[in-house]
Chain A
Amino acid sequence: MSILEVQNVNKSFGGLKALQNVNLSVEEGTIHAIIGPNGAGKSTLLNCFIGKLIPDTGTVNFNGQSLLGMKAHEINQTGVSRVFQTPEIFSDLTVYENVMIPCFAKRDGSFCLNALNRVKSEAEIHDKAEHMMEDVNMADKKDMVASSLSRGDKRRLEMAMCLAQDPQLLLLDEPTAGMARADTNNTIDLLAEIQNKRHITMAVIEHDMHVVFSLAQKISVLAQGTVIVEDLPENIKGHPKVQEAYLGGAH
């Protein structure tokens, strides 16, 4: 069953057609990679999922419900979380507070005027936050201010924040960009583990083919705003269209 269904999505910025008739369906419980050369429209497509951009035409359905016209926080409340290309975290707050906020958001919804409760007496939130930090191996850094973390740790923190919401669909925008090989491998293991343990559906945008082929169960190749191939990983590698898109035409 497909959890995310994208049909005939078009998006243009002025004269530039960023997306042309994009069709995509992400199967529940799988890791679906979206690859393509720079400027192929990968990030634009992701932005259409989360309400940052509104497609000119076409439909984006999540669990049969249209996401178009919904605000960012409403989309998130339906179960879609996103990890950004540059980690978006609460840099002035501690790691622990960073993880607690999505826990509160999950429990209390998009707004709750609980100005007289005490954060410290919210046992269930603390349990969950501790648990999340252990899952991403950051329990020892919980009192650090988030801005002082390394880039890899910031990414892990952001992942923990997204997982704290128990999303049904996790969107990852280049989760290993700018990471050293060891960190990249850690991230691969982490994502694989999350998928095994929680069966969260993931849509991953990635440049690093090593990451893509070690994780993805299905791959869509995007070039110049259209999906040129959607297939299993083993069929993608030698596909002539893919080689053409990346190498500028096989003559």
Chain B
Amino acid sequence: MFDKFQNNDRMLMLFFIFLVLAGPILLAPFGAGYPDLLQRFCIFGIFAIGFNILFGLTGYLSFGHAAFLGVGSYSAVWMFKLLTMNVIPALILAVIIAGLFSLLIGFISLRRSGIYFSILTLAFAQMSFSLAYSVLTPITNGETGLQLTLDDPRILDAANTSGSLPSTNFFGLTMNSTAKFEFFGMVFQFNVGFYFCAVMLILAFYLAMRIFRSPFGLMLKAIKTNQNRLNYTGVNTRPYTLAAFVISGMYAGLAGGLMACTDPLAGAERMQWTASGEVVLMTILGGSGTLLGPVLGAGFIKYFENIFSKINENVLHGWFSFLPDGLEDLIVWVLHFFVGKGWHLTLGLLFMMVVIFLPGGLLQGASHIIDWIRGKKQSSSTQISNPNSMPAE
């Protein structure tokens, strides 16, 4: 039985690696094949995977994870300003600082559970957000956001004589360099920044998978189902929840660092509660407690945000131009509430439907469909065998 499991995990991993690396090709027909969006898929995928380690395994719902994302971004940009434009030191610092920050917040917030824990984390995140805007302006550059300037020291890099801002790189490979290919009128863009984020996403996914399958992960699942019993089984649940909180905080820090790597700029709005809420939506939409779900949810939400919001009335008129004028106007009038600025409405409806009909998230929906197809195949094969037995009767 366990051999089969191992093979399944390996299959899942290979499938995931293929999907991520082939992203620019697979998503181009959907209009999502451009580097900026692909990078965002990966970054928010990492963010959601990390959040899922806390929420999906232990059931502790944090409403303050955006704080760690923001801290990661600030740390990375500071590294770009002071040390070097290479992304590796920036990411290392981002993860460490986010880890320390989450250790502090987790240590205090995890004294409570349930709704009180959520409120505590929310309060901390909003506090960080406000501080970043006001008191901490020397570090965060307040409303303008932390940016690169020409006179930053960057002690490890050669003196910048070009007169323009340097760009982030991975040992010389510039993050924003893109190779474009055209096939059958479609443009495929292969971007260094995307592939860097993709490798990080794959590593993050692999680590999450190891955690899910470890004794540590089993204990976290036990915390979710019956913390009381676990205490009377001789397990101290506090360090377990704290470790899960710090790990997911570090994931958020990595995501924040990567955001700064693809676009070296950090603003306080990344720490706002709406950003914390977004990752909750991603995880629940995709399926909390599953491995693939959060990545799927992150992809869905980012796709809606970037693609659905760009569809306007003219585009709709283009789609339905084959219909008679009156009908076309009617359909466009109805649909225009759901696209463009109204994409939140579509997302909201989708979210409601998922929560009501598929409590296990989109991934549960997908497995229902697979089961249904398999069941159909089986029943159709029995139907084929039935006529053979008929004449004998």
Interfacial residues, chain A to chain B (CB-CB below 8 A): 50, 71-73, 76-77, 81-82, 88-93, 97, 100-102, 104-106, 108-120, 122, 125, 161, 165
Contact = CB atoms under 8 A, between A and B. Distances in A.
B236 A73 contact: yes
Given A89-B226, A93-B222, A104-B215, A110 B232 contact: no
Contacts of B240: 111
A102 to B, nearest CB: 5
Interface residues of B, number: 31
17 contacts: A72-B232, A73-B234, A89-B226, A90-B229, A92-B224, A93-B218, A93-B221, A104-B215, A104-B219, A108-B215, A111-B236, A112-B215, A118-B210, A122-B215, A125-B215, A161-B229, A161-B233
- Name the residue among A101, A106, A109, A114 with the largest chain B CB count within 10 angstroms: A101
Contacts of B225: 90-93
Nearest to B220: A115
Per CB-CB distance, the 5 closest pairs between chain A and chain B, nearest first, are A76-B234, A110-B236, A92-B225, A115-B216, A88-B229
Interface string B308-325: 000000000000000000
B233 A111 contact: no
B233 A115 contact: no
Nearest to A92: B225
B18 interface: no
For the residues of B in contact with A, the DSSP-based class is helix
Interface string B240-252: 1001000100000
Contacts of B239: 111
B213 interface: yes
B236 A113 contact: no
B218 to A, nearest CB: 6
Nearest to B238: A111
B177 interface: no
A90 B213 contact: no
Contacts of A115: 210-211, 214, 216-217, 243, 247
Given A101-B230, A104-B215, A120-B2, A92 B235 contact: no
Contacts, number: 106
Contact of A90 (B217, B222, B237, B243): B222
Contacts of A76: 231-234
- Name the residue among B221, B230, B240 with the largest chain A CB count within 10 angstroms: B230
A217 B217 CA distance: 42
B5 interface: yes
Contact of B235 (A88, A105, A113): A105
Contact of B232 (A82, A106, A114, A118): A82
B218 A104 contact: yes
Contacts of B216: 112-115, 117
A167 to B, nearest CB: 10
A105 B232 contact: no
A101 B236 contact: no
Contacts of B389: none
Nearest to B240: A111
A65 to B, nearest CB: 15
A73 B213 contact: no
Contact of B218 (A81, A91, A119): A119
Contacts of A120: 2, 5-6, 213
Contact of B214 (A90, A93, A106, A114): A114
A149 to B, nearest CB: 14
Nearest to A100: B218
B229 A89 contact: yes
Contacts of B247: 115
A102 B222 CA distance: 11
Contact of A111 (B217, B218, B222, B235): B235
- Name the residue among A71, A73, A81, A106 with the largest chain B CB count within 10 angstroms: A73
Contacts of B144: none
A53 to B, nearest CB: 14
Contacts of A89: 226, 229
Contacts of A161: 229, 233
Given A88-B226, A90-B226, A90-B229, A97 B234 contact: no
B247 to A, nearest CB: 8
A76 to B, nearest CB: 4
A97 B219 CA distance: 10
A133 B377 CA distance: 38
Contacts of B2: 120
B59 to A, nearest CB: 10
A113 B243 contact: yes
B228 interface: yes
B234 A110 contact: yes
A209 to B, nearest CB: 28
